[in-house]
Amino acid sequence: MGSYLQHYGAGEERRNRIIKILIISGISVLILLWVLYFVFRDFSEKQTVKRFLAQLNSRQYTEAYVTWGCTASTPCPNYDYKRFLDDWGPAKKISSPWQIASVDGCKAFVTVNVKADGSELESLGVERGTKSLMFAPAPECQEPKWRWKQFFSRMFGGGRS
């Protein structure tokens, strides 16, 4: 015959274990959501630039001009097709395809730096709402914010940023 206090506290141990699992699961889900937010927050803007660069790399300059937000019939006020071709066309004499070098998200737009061998770094801006392309005012966002990539790069990458 078992003693009177043999199962004393067994229910409380189980309840404590369930609470511990729920708290750890909740914290894990919050961390996962935070990581997914930082990975995918600039995804659609980055896809717009990838489409633009693919059009440039395949020498479809009229389609790239349309992706920029202008057409041959209604050119942009200060950026006509001839000037576009001077900046991005065959006269540029690049030796490798255009590719994305870095991405930095601001509140109103995303700065995407692109490069190709034979050309200097170009900073593009993609507006968040309209996904229209423009030249960015600076290679990185000028708003005050925490620079996570630079922090971890300096912390684990030997001081490179």
In this predicted model, what pLDDT tens digit does every residue of 29-82 receive, in sequence order? 999 999 998 888 889 999 999 999 999 999 999 999 999 988 878 888 888 888
* pTM greater than 0.95 (yes/no): no
Contacts 24+ apart (CB under 8 A), 141-147: 141/104, 141/105, 141/106, 141/111, 142/106, 143/106, 143/107
**Tokens representing residue 104 in the block:** 């930095």
Rg for the chain (alpha carbons), in Å?
26
- What is 41-156's CATH topology? Nuclear Transport Factor 2; Chain: A, (3.10.450)
Taking the domains of the chain in order of start, what are their residue ranges? 9-38, 41-156
Report the pLDDT value the prediction gives residue 152, as an integer from 0 to 100: 77
| Amino acid (1-letter code) at residue 33 | L
CA 67 to chain centre: 19
> Residue 5 pLDDT > 80, yes or no?
no
